[in-house]
């Protein structure tokens, strides 16, 4: 599985957009980019995933560069409840194992 | 709709003992995966069960074993517990149509 690189921590002001970057330069053509987040002492929660095109759902937007070597997760209006560790994962499909890194601790400040 | 249910939520065991953790998948999911999460680290893949067989396995010793039942629920067994086995154990269910849904985990402390 391709490895990902994320900053260890980021801060964001409440109500502002949070942009979380991820590098995955060794991604293969059939691998998806997944984003999960984990709030303290809970299990990881699925946010969004994509293959080539940008994706948007009720939680976030995912922007994947044309060469697919990096992506950005966007939380359009961050709230205090969005404080969590965010994991960017590259994987082969919804039933394949997920390889987690250390993720990015996003702290949303009032 | 109930999500993934894990039991127990917390457990304390002594070194050398054996432990069994249980997981009930989300309705409609037929695949169960287990992950170990040490403090401050991301979850690490242990193994995955589908159709009552181990389909994928991570880099964990044979002390870690599992089982999946016909109703898709699953157990994780760990023998000869070590202090280093202390962690949050996460169960995730999935299917080809749906992505992963994680449970809240079982916090295992080995003393």
pLDDT tens across B64-105, in order?
999 999 999 999 999 999 999 999 999 999 877 667 999 999
Whether pLDDT at A46 is above 60: yes
A13 reaches B (C-beta below 8 A): no
CA distance B43 to B53: 22
CA distance A22 to B30: 31
CA angle, corner A61, sides to A56 and A66, nearest 5? 95
CA distance B19 to B102: 20
Instruction: Indicate the residue of B41, B48, B103 with minimum beta-carbon distance to A97.
Output: B48
Whether residue A44 and residue B41 make contact (CB cut-off 8 A), yes or no, is no
Looking at CA atoms only, how far is residue A86 from chain B in angstroms? 10
B-proximal residues of A, 40-69, CB under 8 Å: 41-46, 49
Q: Closest Cα partner for A88 from A31, A41, A40?
A: A31
CA distance B101 to B42: 16
A-proximal residues of B, 12-41, CB under 8 Å: 31, 33, 35, 40-41
Instruction: Indicate the residue of B90, B94, B97 with minimum beta-carbon distance to A43.
Output: B90
Please provide the DSSP assignment of A52-77 as one string.
SS-EE-SS-EEEE-TTSSEEEEEETT
Q: How confident is the model at residue A109 (pLDDT cuts 50, 70, 90)?
A: very high
Looking at CA atoms only, how far is residue A45 from chain B in angstroms? 7
Q: What is the pLDDT of residues B50-66, one digit of tens each?
A: 999 999 999 999 999 99
Whether residue B45 and residue A98 make contact (CB cut-off 8 A), yes or no, is yes
The predicted model gives A75-95 an average pLDDT of 92
Q: In the prediction, which pLDDT does A94 show?
A: 67
Whether pLDDT at A4 is above 90: yes
Q: In the prediction, which pLDDT does A93 show?
A: 77
Q: What is the pLDDT of residues B6-53, one digit of tens each?
A: 999 999 999 999 999 999 999 989 999 999 999 989 999 999 999 999
SS3 label, residue A82: helix
Give chain A's mean pLDDT. 93
CB atoms within 10 A of CB B52: 11
């Amino acid at each position: 599985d391709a490895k990902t690189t994320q900053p260890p921590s980021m801060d964001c002001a409440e109500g502002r957009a949070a942009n979380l970057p991820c590098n995955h330069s060794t991604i293969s053509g059939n691998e998806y980019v997944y984003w999960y987040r984990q709030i303290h002492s809970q299990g990881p929660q699925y946010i969004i995933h994509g293959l080539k095109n940008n994706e948007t759902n009720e939680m976030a937007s995912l922007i994947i560069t044309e060469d697919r070597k990096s992506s950005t997760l966007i939380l359009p209006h961050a709230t205090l409840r969005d404080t969590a560790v965010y994991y960017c994962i590259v994987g082969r499909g919804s039933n394949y194992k997920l390889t987690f890194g250390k993720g990015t601790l996003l702290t949303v400040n009032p | 709709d109930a999500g993934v249910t894990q039991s127990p939520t917390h457990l304390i065991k002594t070194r050398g003992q054996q432990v069994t953790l249980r997981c009930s998948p989300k309705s409609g999911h037929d695949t169960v995966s287990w992950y170990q999460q040490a403090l401050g680290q991301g979850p690490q893949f242990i193994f995955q069960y589908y159709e009552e067989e181990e389909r994928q396995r991570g880099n964990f010793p044979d002390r870690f074993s599992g089982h999946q039942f016909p109703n898709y629920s699953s157990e994780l067994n760990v023998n000869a517990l070590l202090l280093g086995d202390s962690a949050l154990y996460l169960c995730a269910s999935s299917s080809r149509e749906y992505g992963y849904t994680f449970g809240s985990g079982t916090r295992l402390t080995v003393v």
